[in-house]
Structure 1
Amino acid sequence: TFLPADIITAFYTLQFIRPIHRQNMIQKIYNVLRQDGVFLFAEKVITHDSKLESQMIARYYNYKKMRGYTQGEIYKKREALENVLIPYSIDENNAMLKNCGFKHVEILFKWVNFTLFFARK
């Protein structure tokens, strides 16, 4: 049981919920938010433009290399997340939020394929 809330946050968690259950989770969040309540969440997102998607992946890969990760570590992490982390596009996230009843949805921050969403009830 969840108590009513003015704000709920979720950072890089929804992407690990199976797509078949994700909208149901968002609906539960919506239902416990008070009027004008805010759902603030960050997710890894995909784009349906394959060239842009490849560029974003390459940019993030380079970011990890610059931070001292080895090619093997980067590969292991990517392999571990395969079929576990299932990202949606920005449009798919927005549609899911709207379908659950959120009236106002904005993107507060975006870097490569990471996005911070703001959704008001």
Structure 2
Amino acid sequence: MNDNISAFDSKEYDMQIKRTLPYYDEIYQQVVDLVKTCNPNALNWLDVGCGTGKMAEIAFKNIEVEKFTFCDCSFKMLEIAKERFTYPNTEFILCDIQEISYFNEYNVITAIQVNHYLQREERKKAVQSCYQSLKENGIFISFENFAPFSDFGEKIYLNRWEEYQKKQGRTSLETNNHINRYNRDYFPITITEHLELFNNCGFRAAEILWVSNMQVGIWGIK
């Protein structure tokens, strides 16, 4: 059994996720580029589902961060992040995204590959929690697996994803097990539903940042 809700144990997460998720490093660069465009000043940043700290690694290299809060529901993931980042302007919170209780505190909140593990009502609660934690004009950026619009599209996308993983050296059993997690261990929604959710939670603007394979980046401004 894994020590977190992702497909991989925390000790092997960073190695395995790159073999599984196309453009994994590019996803984080896209986030940083958008943040720099929207708000180039010193930032209070909350990363929900922080894992081992990949978002922080990229953020600290590219942006002036006044405070960075690491948040994850996995104790093991959070411990790895604590070992990696010993800066004085960091904070570590063991918490589920639905339980975030800040108000008007952060300029940026990110959730990378987090919310697709939630059911629809849970997902709505999670996005609402992030919305209320943002300052006015703050930005929320979420990257998730998404659901295609048709059964045919779903089949094509999943086959393509399976082939990508095989090219990265994963076995047929590993790739098959991962593909079978779709709608069993995580519950994607369409890109249209993503945008509607952001609008319904109060964001005055909701846009698409990035789409590739079965991953989408959505951002909203409070």
- In the superposition, the TM-score normalised over structure 1's length comes to 0.91
Letter in 2 for 1:23: K
Aligned with residue 113 of structure 1, among 201, 205, 214: 214
What do residues 51-109 of structure 1 show as CA deviations (whole Å, max 9, x unaligned)? 22211111111101111111111122234565220011101111111000011111111
Q: Matched residues in 1 for 2:178 and 2:148: separation?
A: 21
Aligned with residue 173 of structure 2, among 49, 72, 76: 72
Identify the residue that residue 185 of structure 2 maps to in structure 1. Answer: 84
* Shift, 1:28, TM fit: 1.1
Larger radius of gyration: 2
Change over 3 Å in CA distance of 1:48–1:99 after alignment to 2: same
Unaligned runs of 5+ in 2: 1-100
Identify the residue that residue 94 of structure 1 maps to in structure 2. Answer: 195
| Residue 24 (1) aligns with residue 125 (2) | yes
* Shift, 1:41, TM fit: 1.1
CA-based RMSD of the aligned residues comes to: 1.5
What fraction of aligned residue pairs are identical, expressed as a percent?
A: 23
Identify the residue that residue 107 of structure 2 maps to in structure 1. Answer: 6
Unaligned runs of 5+ in 1: none
Letter in 1 for 2:123: R
Count of aligned pairs:
121
Q: Specify which structure has the bigger relative contact order, considering alpha-carbon pairs within 8 angstroms and separated by 6 or more residues.
A: 1
Letter in 2 for 1:25: A
Q: Matched residues in 1 for 2:153 and 2:184: separation?
A: 21
